[in-house]
Structure 1
Amino acid sequence: MNTTELVSQLFLPLSLAIIMLGMGMTLVPADFTRIIKFPKAILLGLTNQLIFLPIIGFSLAIAFNLSPVMAVGLMILASCPGGPTSNLITQVCKGNIALSVTLTAIASVISILTIPFILSSALEYFGSSTNVSIKLPIVNTIIQIMGITVIPISIGMFIRKRKTNFALRMGKPMRTASIVIFILVFIAVLGANADKLVDGMKAAGLVTLVLNITTMGIGYLTAKLFKLNLKNAISITIESGIQNGTLALVIATSILNNVEMGIPIGAYAIWMFITSGVLMWYFGKRPEISYE
């Protein structure tokens, strides 16, 4: 197992699972029933992620006149749902964690159907057809969602119910741990992709930065347009701009068998961590935000 595989397959999932456990200790069932009773935030978040994001990615690929391989790589990224990292960032930004987790889970399941359609269309349009059948690892994807998010969060919520005082005391330490793990993961990603970083930024640095800022901006603006509170707006902003890079790399390298298509994904990951770091600094220093 090389460094990249060690980071993506072991260190990152284990770290995120631990953080999800801590998040669970900040949640109660009412946090989820609240968003189910008022589903506007869920519908808006899913619309941004599953519809607007691929459209923006497609438009940017044309506007920047990307090569077919780079364009398809960008579309792979734009078609992927958010990942557990978005839940971590939401926690530090003091957004609605329950909404973030719900959006990640639902979008991940729906994307099993949407990704093959989007990528087949992209391959045909940009002329990079590889004549392969795009089939996602459904079982592995579901196991990943359950193992990294649902199960640890459920355990955390159980601890919150049984040991409330302990769970409340752990709130601040877990948020601090989230920041530390975020920084370590960022350094690990940089180290694992150092050899590709310069070429990736030259080939797709600007377009991936524009994609990241645009999707986050639209996420925030649409949330405010529909008069969602700040906690929900933060969650939708992050879910709109933080994609499941691991899944995107699997699609590019294992399913489409094209390492070059992973270049925009690597470039986007760098910008994603940088812009998320800015959001974490800005919102994380604010006092806890109410749901009002």
Structure 2
Amino acid sequence: MRQAAKLISRYFGLLIIAAMLLGFAVPGMFSWVVSRFMGQPVINLLLGVIMFGMGMTLTVADFKLVLERPLDVLKGTAAQFIIMPLIAFGLSMAFGLEEALMVGVVLVGTCPGGTASNVITFMAGGDVALSVTMTTVSTLLAPFLTPAITYLLIQQSVSFSPVSMFVNIVQVVLVPILLGLVIRSVLKESVKVVETYMPALSTLCIASIVGGVIGANATRIMESLGMIVVVVMLHNLLGYALGFLVGRLTGMERRKCVTLAVEVGMQNSGLAASLAAGQFATMPLAAVPAALFSAWHNISGSIFAWLVKSRESKTEEQ
């Protein structure tokens, strides 16, 4: 079991891509993801498991970094919630996306950084401690900033309740994270056993969300596949580029710039898919950008990490 868990965690990107392809090929395979269990959307329960896993990995040291390096954390968090929402809205307008897809792209942009960014930062040789702290801080701010920014950007086009979204994020993000923190403090040393399996379980949950959203919308995705794929790719790649640029312009050293690029470019697409399904249920396509982003940013993140490490190796050789 332990070996299987390690393999799942190691190849998380491939599993998510496989889930996306299976969603297209065998749509009914993940139909349970878009159903309900005991009155709750299954997709929310899956996201809750992912956030619980995140809570289980947090320590007091992660929060100390906010006090020790507040300027670094502030730069990253500000870039996260300014750059990605504006790029999302700008690309939606530039490509003339239909209403549902525009909502989905904006939701991806207004969500906090994804936990996969910590892995990619490590692979790229970035500042992992800063990455974990930025992900944590942006996630804790999400109940307030995600509804507020989403409302500011799409209020002219789509009517929705920011208060309802706030409650939704508290339920599926904040509560599970706090529960994970509490259980970690209670279990203490025993938590290491749980930590062995939580990353694998989180990976399976993310893959299921991707497969479920893709499967439920396979036909409609194929009809508009070209345009939305281009938008999703540009959103992510511009996030990397502008995140790195902000780091450079604000005087950060290279490792921190790499971290900022990854944190800005990689979003919590699972949360975006959950919010789309819960807050914009009349727009099934709104969850599609999140599913595509989830698969794509794992591919691009791995390539980004490889390019950064390759460049560093060449520099050291010279």
Could you state the TM-score of these two structures normalised by the residue count of structure 1?
0.71
| Alignment match, 1:118 | 153
Determine what percentage of the aligned residue pairs are the same residue. Answer: 18
Q: What per-residue deviation string (whole Å, max 9, x for no partner) do you get for residues 183-224 of structure 1?
A: 534543453223535526334111111101111222233224
Tell me if structure 2 keeps the 8 A contact 1:109–1:142: no
1:149 aligns with 2:170: no
1:4 aligns with 2:33: yes
Looking at structure 2, the residues matched to 281 and 151 of structure 1 have their Cα atoms a distance apart, in angstroms, of 35
> How many Å apart are 1:10 and its aligned residue?
3.2
| Alignment match, 1:13 | 48
Looking at structure 1, the residues matched to 44 and 141 of structure 2 have their Cα atoms a distance apart, in angstroms, of 22
Of the candidates 215, 237, 255, which is equivalent to residue 239 of structure 2?
A: 215
Looking at structure 2, the residues matched to 9 and 226 of structure 1 have their Cα atoms a distance apart, in angstroms, of 37
The 3 A distance-change label for structure 1 pair 69 and 137 is closer
The 3 A distance-change label for structure 1 pair 10 and 235 is farther
Map 1:264-275 → 2, pairs under 5 A: 264-275=289-300
The 3 A distance-change label for structure 1 pair 72 and 142 is closer
The 3 A distance-change label for structure 1 pair 132 and 103 is closer
What amino acid is aligned across from residue 196 of structure 1 in structure 2?
A: N
Looking at structure 1, the residues matched to 54 and 272 of structure 2 have their Cα atoms a distance apart, in angstroms, of 22
* Number of aligned residue pairs: 264
> How many Å apart are 1:49 and its aligned residue?
2.0
The 3 A distance-change label for structure 1 pair 93 and 120 is same
Tell me if structure 2 keeps the 8 A contact 1:80–1:115: no
Looking at structure 1, the residues matched to 197 and 308 of structure 2 have their Cα atoms a distance apart, in angstroms, of 14
1:245 aligns with 2:266: no
**SS of equivalent to 1:65:** coil
> How many Å apart are 1:105 and its aligned residue?
0.9
> How many Å apart are 1:88 and its aligned residue?
4.8
Of the candidates 249, 253, 261, which is equivalent to residue 225 of structure 1?
A: 249
| Alignment match, 2:215 | 194
Looking at structure 2, the residues matched to 151 and 233 of structure 1 have their Cα atoms a distance apart, in angstroms, of 32
Map 1:129-168 → 2, pairs under 5 A: 129=158, 131=159, 133-153=161-181, 155-156=183-184, 163=189
Q: What per-residue deviation string (whole Å, max 9, x for no partner) do you get for residues 13-52 of structure 1?
A: 324423541x23xx3x344223224311222122222222
The 3 A distance-change label for structure 1 pair 227 and 32 is farther
**SS of equivalent to 1:137:** helix
The 3 A distance-change label for structure 1 pair 273 and 158 is same
Tell me if structure 2 keeps the 8 A contact 1:253–1:259: yes
Superposition misfits of 4+ residues, deviation over 6 angstroms: 280-284
Looking at structure 1, the residues matched to 151 and 137 of structure 2 have their Cα atoms a distance apart, in angstroms, of 22
Q: What per-residue deviation string (whole Å, max 9, x for no partner) do you get for residues 106-158 of structure 1?
A: 2443323322222204x1xxxxx4x5555433334223333332332354366
The 3 A distance-change label for structure 1 pair 176 and 91 is farther
| Alignment match, 1:260 | 285
**SS of equivalent to 2:155:** helix
Q: What per-residue deviation string (whole Å, max 9, x for no partner) do you get for residues 168-190 of structure 1?
A: xx49x947863x44653454345
**SS of equivalent to 1:53:** helix
Tell me if structure 1 keeps the 8 A contact 2:52–2:176: yes
Q: Which runs of 5+ in 2 are unaligned?
A: 1-29, 36-41, 123-127, 313-318
Looking at structure 2, the residues matched to 148 and 228 of structure 1 have their Cα atoms a distance apart, in angstroms, of 33
What RMSD in Å do the two structures reach over aligned CA positions? 3.8
Looking at structure 1, the residues matched to 100 and 174 of structure 2 have their Cα atoms a distance apart, in angstroms, of 32
The 3 A distance-change label for structure 1 pair 221 and 46 is same
